A and B are shown apart, each in its own frame.
Chain A
Amino acid sequence: MSLFIVNILDGLVTGLLLFMLCSGLTLIFSMMGVLNFAHASFYMLGAYFGYQISTYVGFWPGLILAPIIVGFIGAAVERYGLRRVHKFGHVPELIFTFGLALLIEEVVQYFWGKSQMAFEAPGVLKFAAFSIAGNAFPAYKVFMIFIAMGVFLVLLYILTKTRIGMIIQAALSYPETVQNLGHNVPMIFMGVFGVGTAMAAIAGVIAGPVLGTFPGMAVLLGSIVFVTIVIGGLGSLWGALVASLLIGWLQTFAAAYNLRMADLLVAIGLTEPVDVAQSMLSDLWTLTLPQVGPILPYLLMIIVLVIRPNGLLGKRET
């Protein structure tokens, strides 16, 4: 039972981290109708900038500065890259962001090399906040939960309660009308893109010390981010939250329990072969839950798409 509680908390951390990436991506998508393949690369840039700044002035300035820098880079990419490509339709946009992802990975390897960076959590958070049955829960992870929650609440407040949020929401559905009313819609687009990438960068800075800062970190998270927003429903902030938490827990629990396929097969009435290694289906019989863990989110995506093609909370046709 105590292990169950620890896993709930771990899954919450993973889920909220995923949410910080997905919220930006899903906003950008609902606004521009373009899937930003380079989104996870901005997350990686955030981690590397955070690391580089932390070597000069410490972790905390890095947490503030890195997202700002990445946000400006993101805005510049929208202004001088995506906006020009936009004229030619969605496919060139997709290809542009895809190329950008490759470019960022190469640039990162060029400057920082291929090995893992020694990005450390700040000293004040390097203690175990509490421990359940010998399992320590680091204070840094508590901090991660609060940061992610904070980001979500601020975002929700801005989008639903402020004038800027109203304009953004209006620009989502009726860009021409909003423009006719005198609002600078391209500027809003650029701002949303910048904020979205800055949020990915915040996720990068706080995840860097825990999940590792290395050139493969964007690829490792990139595909799962898309799966999450598809499950949640493209363009839905609440959907992104629900789907992120769902996937966070799914992955944590899948890795935490060594359920064997053999037990399942026996339970449905099959008999285990005497010599499993020689059996024709030996791969199936020796399979364990942690081994299939990484494919479960994709499985979930397919099931969701079959049952609810718009995603769990999505409104629009995708």
Chain B
Amino acid sequence: MNRFTKSLLGAAFAGAAMVGSFSIAHAEGTIKIAFIDPLSGPFASTGNQGLSHYKFAAEELVNSKGGVLDGQKFEIVAFDNKISAKESLIQLKVAIDQGIRFIAQGNSSGVANAITDAVKKHNRRNPDQQVIFLNYSAVDPALTNDKCNFWHFRFDANADIKMDALTDVMAANEDIKKVYLIGQDYSFGKAVAAAAVKFLKAKRPDVEIVGNELHPIGKVKDFTPYARKIIASGADAMITGNWGSDMVGLGKAVIEAGFDNPIYTYYAASDGITKTFGEAGEGKLKLVMEGQLNPPVSDRAAAYTAKFEKQYPDYDIGQPRIANVIEMLAKAINKAGTATDMAKVAYALEGMEHDSIWGTKVVMRASDHQAIQDVHILAHTAKDVTFDFDNSGYGLRAESTVKMASADSATTCKMKRP
């Protein structure tokens, strides 16, 4: 059944489902995790994909194994923030008022910045009702540097760590002599470009940066002229932090114009992107990311992914780290022996070493609450892909791995502990 007919069916059932959802009573004695991310609007598919993984991980990794402490279960409670920082703060307040003490959010660093400030303020004013912020995706380096605080934990590799790992791999490739940087004209696009320039200069001074430009975000109708420039510059590789339709537009235009070299990206997978690239991206499109689905690292990881795909055929494990969030939180609660004293849980999470289902060790660095883990360069391909994305036959296969990327990177964080 394709998406179109499914939508028709969905339309018929939506009404019934909405009535139903209000009548489900919240189970007593559960540990609630508030999931605050976009569930409507242009980024809804990313938000819903994350939510489905959270629900699945909570059930599969914790609840089916008897829960935490004396059998308490995890419950994911969804809040739609429409990717607006203002709306997020309202939802955060609602969640706290409902007695929820764990806040998970990831899409958009702007939202994460707002939440981390609000959480810090709230915890200072309400010492007996503190909350912990589990940031699973927002990669702005500032969150674990200048803006770090004790209640914020980041499970994704931040933008600098990703660039560090990416440039490690690029530096080892002698074929790369000329690099073209292109990104969206806003803070994240600029941060990616700045990090690329910094690391390339340090690791491979002989590499020439033949282009470094920003294009208007979400306004470019046709990327062909940009593609022509990139080809004309003679670049051996390009790096972009683009996402959404800007990623697809740029990638397709560049490939169509005859670019035959690697395109290093941050976000060119899942949410329809993998399917749209299909054959054209084979051998060219690369992603820098934590978490490896292909080849599966273990039987356990394979079984976990297969079960998820079966339960949510429309979604992918696009953010594997969510499994780490759930497992590490469960561990921390067990170690602290409480799910109500947040300072104890936070101390248990701080510095935790965890063997991830994705085969890497994850260390929640105590100095800045940044997770240190293996970062992979993944290739968009149809060969040897056990778990594809978008049901397209194409998926991501690990090509190279940087072990415990940026483990000794410096941080400007001055953590104030309670």
Q: Which residues of A contact B (CB under 8 A)?
A: 3, 6-7, 10, 13-14, 52, 55, 110-118, 120, 128, 131, 133-136, 138, 210-212, 214-216, 220-221, 224, 251-256, 258, 288, 290-291, 293-294
Contacts and interface: CB of A to CB of B under 8 A. Distances in A.
A227 to B, nearest CB: 13
Contacts of B256: 136, 138, 210
Given A3-B232, A14-B222, A212-B252, A110 B257 contact: no
B220 A255 contact: yes
A290 B231 contact: no
Q: How large is the interface on B (under 10, 10 to 19, 20 to 34, 35 or more residues)?
A: 35 or more
14 contacts: A3-B229, A52-B4, A113-B3, A113-B45, A114-B45, A116-B273, A118-B390, A212-B249, A212-B252, A255-B225, A288-B213, A291-B214, A293-B216, A294-B220
A112 to B, nearest CB: 7
Nearest to B234: A134
Contact of A110 (B7, B219, B392): B7
Given A113-B45, A290-B215, A118 B272 contact: yes
A10 B225 contact: yes
A112 B7 contact: yes
A133 B257 CA distance: 11
Nearest to A255: B225
A120 B281 CA distance: 13
B216 A135 contact: no
A251 B278 CA distance: 29
A64 B406 CA distance: 55
Contacts of A133: 232
A165 B321 CA distance: 64
Contacts of A220: 219, 221
B228 A116 contact: no
Contacts of B257: 135-136
B1 to A, nearest CB: 12
Contacts of A221: 221
Contacts of B245: 116, 212, 214, 216
Contacts of B276: 116-118, 212
A128 B213 CA distance: 27
Nearest to B43: A114
Contacts of B226: 255-256, 290
Contacts of A131: 258
B162 to A, nearest CB: 23
B224 to A, nearest CB: 5
A134 B258 contact: yes
A290 B213 contact: yes
Given A116-B273, A291-B214, A111 B185 contact: no
A286 B213 CA distance: 11
Contacts of B390: 118
B228 A10 contact: yes
B228 A115 contact: no
Interface string B1-26: 01110011001000000000000000
A134 B42 CA distance: 37
A103 to B, nearest CB: 15
A135 B4 contact: no
A38 to B, nearest CB: 19
B37 interface: no
Given A113-B272, A252-B224, 20 more contacts: A7-B225, A13-B224, A14-B222, A52-B4, A111-B4, A114-B44, A116-B273, A116-B276, A133-B232, A136-B257, A210-B222, A210-B252, A212-B276, A220-B219, A221-B221, A253-B225, A256-B229, A290-B226, A291-B214, A291-B216
